[in-house]
Chains A and B, each alone.
Chain A
Amino acid sequence: MTAETPYLNRLSGLVLLAPMTILLAIFFLYPLGKTLWQSVNDSGFTLRAYADLTTSTLFFKVLKTTFVISFTATLVSLLIGFPVALHLSRKTPRARVPYLIMVMLPFWTSILVKSFALTVLLGYDGVINSFLGWLFGTAVHVPMVFNRVGAIIGMINYLLPFMILSILSSLLAQDANLGRAAEVMGASRFTIFRRITLPLAMPGVIAGVLINITLSIGMYITPALLGGRKDMMVANLIDFYTRQTLDWPLASAIAVVLLVISGVLVAGLGRVQGMGQAREVAQ
């Protein structure tokens, strides 16, 4: 019988839940509500901010930049992440540990540290350029930082662990006997990959892509530190309107737009993961 009498009564439940609920109300729900309210309020109710947005070339330019950078970074992260996930999935759980540490390392490192290190590695006289210079016997100065390339490289470094772990989980969920059975039936490695491994990894791929886009469209530090002047993203624009021009309604309106976009993505992610769970249950 699932409908057991609960171990804790409502009063104790209330006492235990109240502190966290109050914190979330004041420091999570209220700020979100305040942003929503601020976006339609400039000494009185007004849709001025949203009207300004629809005519703002800067906003649309930034929105376009955000999407271009996010999609590029996500795509590259998928292309690099898949082989890594594949490599990890072929290890025994014991042998996988040191590789997982390497994957998780950037996840644990401060984004500021990584950004700083990338400026050193990718800079004008940086490690990569010095290495290329030594290789070709001439001074090489490929611009790789403080421009869009830098922003995207920094972002990929941040996004990769999420992509790899997401794909890895769906690769590990696969029954190893499927591949063996196909091999017995005479399928080549490539056929097994194309007809079995790849289709079954799709939920992980889709989840990884959605997580990456969701994370990257709200990115603030990486474009600010590694991108160029023209690589401002939505998050930076919000900061610009909040603290440079002090146009809070406009900043809030942009935040609401960002919230809606990421809300749609998160909902999509929820559906994909729901699908994955449904499939697990069905199996």
Chain B
Amino acid sequence: MTRLSRIAGPLLVPVLAWICYIFLMAPSLVVIPISFGGGGDLHFPPKTWSLELYREFFTQPAWWGTLLRSLVIALCVTVMTTLLVVPAAYALQRARMPGGRILTALAMGPLLVPVIVLALGLYLELAPFGMLNHTLTVVLAHTMLATPFMMTSVGASLRHLDRSYEQVSLIMGASKVRIFFRVVLPQLKSGIAAGALFAFLISLDEVIVAYFITGPDTETLPVKMYSALRWEISPIIAAVSTLLTLVSLLLAVAMMRLERKERSQ
């Protein structure tokens, strides 16, 4: 070994890794300073600092209205996904159903099919019924996309849940409904919370399906952003991006805390 390689050897991996960390983080973080720049041009670092872009965002109903709509949709998706998938995951673990394995695979399906194919399929399905441009269909389509994530995280919690909790509760005389709410659900809390965070974020960030099945009245924030990015790069996008990134960061932190809690138990 030459002297160079002896010095460079141990450094090679960390240096490469750090370049990569910067490459991974830069796009997510660079939008924050840009959004506090003055109006007009997009610059990093900004030449002047102001809250101009946020003022514009919150004074244009076309922008904050879609943000509000997106948040409402994401909230509905979170609730729907929890209501539909948690009982199903429980049944798949605790009942012996014919076709149970197929159903488990089916629930993972939305993760395995390219989103563009699902977007086209939903478009072809809804168009003839005049069901495009409906908020409800967006909610249900996003619920479908979020199903595998909820299934995975709740399924993992359920697999760790010892059956003897349910058995001992039965022996103590509790009904199965009561056991589900008092004994099972509290122990699935972090699994459900993780799935719910995923569902919320998937819905909030989802572009393609929403782009295919929404219209002017039901446009979500990502769809509006996508159009804005395609046709004219409006500086407001920096403010929108920062807001979205902050939501993502918040959810990511919540998720990490959940995982740590899970591990410590």
Q: Which residues of B contact A28 (CB under 8 A)?
A: 106, 109-110, 113, 118, 144
Q: Are the C-beta atoms of B24 and A105 separated by less than 8 Å?
A: yes
A75 within 8 A of B: no
Instruction: Tell me the smallest distance from the CB of A280 to a CB of chain B, in Å.
Output: 16
Question: A16 contacts B28, CB within 8 Å?
Answer: no
In the complex, chain A residues 1-60 whose Cβ is within 8 Å of any chain B Cβ: 6-10, 12-14, 16-17, 19-21, 23-24, 26-35, 38
Query: Is B91 in contact with A248, judged by CB distance below 8 angstroms?
Result: no
| B116 pairs with A248, CB closer than 8 A | no
Which of A118-126, A173-181, A200-208 makes up part of the contact surface? A118-126
Question: B83 an interface residue at 8 Å Cβ cutoff?
Answer: yes
Determine how close the nearest CB of chain A comes to the CB of B198; give it in whole angstroms: 10
User: Contact partner of B244 among A27, A32, A110, A239, CB < 8 A?
Assistant: A110
Minimal beta-carbon separation of B102 from chain A (angstroms):
10
Q: Quick one: closest B residue to A239, CB to CB?
A: B116
**Which of chain B's residues has its CB closest to A114's CB?**
B27
Comparing B47-55, B56-64, B188-196, B200-208, the segment that makes contact with chain A is B200-208
Chain B residue with the shortest CB-CB distance to A218: B114
Q: In the bound complex, do residue A120 and residue B44 qualify as a contact, i.e. CB atoms below 8 Å apart?
A: yes
**B71 interfacial contact with A, CB 8 Å:** no
Q: Nearest Cβ distance between residue B256 and chain A, in whole angstroms?
A: 7
Q: Which of B29, B96, B115, B147 contacts A218 (CB 8 A)?
A: B115
Q: Which B residues, 198 to 224, have Cβ-Cβ distances below 8 Å to chain A?
A: 201, 204-205, 207-208, 212, 222
Q: Which of B9, B27, B237, B248 has the most chain A CB atoms inside 10 A of its CB?
A: B27
Closest CB in chain A relative to B175 CB, distance in Å: 12
Q: Do the beta carbons of B13 and A106 come within 8 Å of each other?
A: no
The docked-state distance in angstroms from the alpha carbon of A105 to that of B251 is 11
When chains A and B are docked, how far (Å) is the Cα of A161 from the Cα of B14?
Answer: 17
Q: How far is the CA of A31 from the CA of B141 in the complex (A)?
A: 11
CA of A220 to CA of B106 in the docked complex: distance in angstroms?
24
- Bound-state CA distance A2–B17 (Å) is 47
A106 to B24, CA, bound (A): 6
Q: Which residues of A contact B166 (CB under 8 A)?
A: 7
CA distance A189 to B28 in the complex (A): 36
Chain B positions 236-265 with a Cβ under 8 Å from a chain A Cβ: 237-238, 241, 244-245, 248-249, 251-252, 256
Q: In the complex, A9→B85 CA distance in Å? A: 18
B residues near A33, Cβ cutoff 8 Å: 121
Instruction: Determine whether the beta carbon of A127 is less than 8 Å from that of B30.
Output: yes
B118 contacts A31, C-beta separation under 8 Å: yes
Among B14, B42, B106, B124, which residue has its beta carbon within 8 angstroms of that of A38?
B124
- Assuming the contacts A8-B176, A106-B28, asked whether A35 and B13 have C-beta atoms less than 8 A apart, the reply is no
Q: Which residues in A have their C-beta under 8 angstroms from that of B222? A: 110, 112
- Kindly state the separation between the CA atoms of A208 and B42 in the bound complex, as whole angstroms: 36
Residues from chain B with a CB closer than 8 A to the CB of A20 are 84-85, 87-88, 107, 147
Which chain B residue shows the least CB distance to A193?
A: B13
Q: Place the interface of chain B in its size category.
A: 35 or more
Say if the beta carbon of A221 comes within 8 Å of chain B.
yes
Q: Verify if A140 is at the interface (C-beta below 8 Å from B).
A: no
Report whether over half of chain A's contact residues are helix, strand or loop; otherwise say mixed.
helix
A84 to B31 Cα, complex, angstroms: 24
Residue among A13, A38, A113, A115 having the largest count of chain B Cβ atoms under 10 Å: A113
The docked-state distance in angstroms from the alpha carbon of A161 to that of B23 is 11
Interface string of B4-46 (1 = CB under 8 A from A): 0000010011101100110111111111001000000010100
Kindly state whether residue B95 has any CB partner on chain A within 8 Å: yes
* A155–B11 CA distance with the chains assembled, in angstroms: 27
Whether A62 is near chain B, meaning CB under 8 Å from some CB there, is no
Find the A residue at minimum CB distance from B151.
A20
Residues in B neighbouring A7, C-beta threshold 8 A? 94-95, 163, 166, 176
Kindly report which residue of chain B lies nearest to residue A215, judged by CB atoms: B114
Interface residues of A in 72-127 (CB under 8 A from B): 80-81, 83-84, 86-88, 90, 97, 99, 101-106, 108-121, 126-127
A interface vs B, CB < 8 Å? 6-10, 12-14, 16-17, 19-21, 23-24, 26-35, 38, 80-81, 83-84, 86-88, 90, 97, 99, 101-106, 108-121, 126-127, 157, 160-161, 189, 217-218, 220-221, 224-225, 234-235, 238-239, 242, 248, 251-252, 255, 258-259, 262-263, 266
| Residue contacts A-B, CB under 8 angstroms, 23 given | A6-B94, A6-B96, A10-B96, A13-B94, A17-B88, A21-B103, A23-B147, A24-B147, A83-B12, A83-B17, A84-B17, A84-B20, A84-B21, A102-B25, A103-B24, A108-B201, A108-B248, A108-B251, A113-B245, A121-B26, A242-B123, A255-B116, A262-B113
| Extra 9 A-B pairs, beta carbons < 8 Å, given A24-B109, A120-B34, A161-B24 | A24-B144, A28-B113, A34-B125, A105-B29, A105-B252, A113-B241, A116-B31, A262-B114, A266-B112
Closest 6 pairs (CB-CB, A-B) = A31-B121, A218-B114, A13-B95, A87-B17, A8-B95, A16-B91
